[in-house]
Amino acid sequence: MAIYGYTALFLLFHLATAIRIRVDESGSTGNYQKIQDAIDAVPRNNSENVLILIKPGVYKEKIVVPADKPFITLSGSKPGKGKVIITWNESGEIFESPTFTVLASDFMARHLTIQNTYGSGAKAVALRVSADRAAFFGCRILSHQDTLLDDKGRHYYNNCYIQGDTDFICGNAASLFEKCHLHSLSQGTGAITAQHRHSPFEKTGFTFVNCKISGLKSALLGRPWGAYSRVVFALTYMSNVILPQGWDDWGDTSKQRTSYYGEFMCYGPGSSTSRRVNWSHSLTSQEAKSYLTESINGGRSWVRAVLPRFRRASGDLSGHVGGRHP
């Protein structure tokens, strides 16, 4: 069976150019010193692609991309050229604690580290994505509990490193994770996923293709936050961190009938399905086909590549993007 080439899906957005803004926390170059200031400069109801280039550094900010500011791309430096680290320290309600919140559609992030340094023992979200058509490339998303609140919308994660200990990829989005590294900090039965699909009619779920799972001690692949939770792992390396049972019903046996947990051609010491819970699925090639040979979340039509041409921001971004210029 030919595996679907998701990496070939990156399509140019219909606008051929983008406004370019630079952020430098040192203040020596760039238009802004804070990432949030650059986002705030984008006009409401924006209809133009805006690329925010961020120089390496540690940005101690709690960031929100508002719903009325679509078409923003945040980009750090390519690997090996210095890290862009966005960091915050907060716990509490999952929709309030995130270091970074995306509410705007058509958002893209590249080469960013997004972390919540609160530590273990409480909900502490690093990244919340509550918008349609959001894509993340080469990002590091770090916390302990509820690291990535993949809340709603269609999302794509490529070559990302996601770390946590309890339900650290959670929410009810329709998301594809390709070539991502999932690292569990759990010391016992912490779950990697807690997918929140609560109706059989919702076209949501998490699919992991060609990923890698590692960890410190032991972990579950997932447990159902919603009664119709849906998660599939395909062609994924699983270290011995994965417990033999693989999945858990979160103390509610009725969810065994309605959840859908599947694995297809995974490998590694934690991939054996011989002792998996009997309500999970070892997928056949035909059953896995829709996850491997079709765009499960419409990504063919909206995931885009780096735009080919940019123009520097000038003037006030009621007309474009304002701020200080080098």
Segment (H or E) for 139? none
316 belongs to the catalytic site: no
- If we measure between CA atoms, which residue out of 220, 213, 192, 194 comes closest to residue 205? 194
Q: What residues form DSSP beta bridges with 242? A: 219
Segment (H or E) for 83? none
Q: What residues form DSSP beta bridges with 185? A: none
Identify the burial level of 102 via C-beta atoms within 10 angstroms of its C-beta, where 0-12 means exposed, 13-18 middle and 19 or more buried: buried
For the chain, how far is it from start to end, CA to CA, in angstroms? 53
Q: Is 178 left (phi over 0), alpha (psi -120 to 50) or beta?
A: beta
* Phi, psi (degrees; rounded to nearest 5) at 19: -75, 140
Question: What DSSP letter does each residue of 217-248 carry, written as one string?
Answer: S-EEEE--SSTT-EEEEES-EE-TTB-TT-B-
Q: What residues form DSSP beta bridges with 23? A: 32, 54
Strand residue runs (E) in 224-324: 230-234, 237-238, 260-264, 281-282, 309-312
Catalytic residue among 132, 151, 165, 167: 167
Catalytic residue among 106, 132, 146, 165: 146
Cβ-Cβ contacts under 8 Å for 291 (sequence gap 6 or more):
207, 209, 232, 234, 262, 264, 283
24 belongs to the catalytic site: no
Cβ atoms of 101 and 119 within 8 Å: the answer is no
Segment (H or E) for 102? strand 100-102
Catalytic center residues: 146, 167
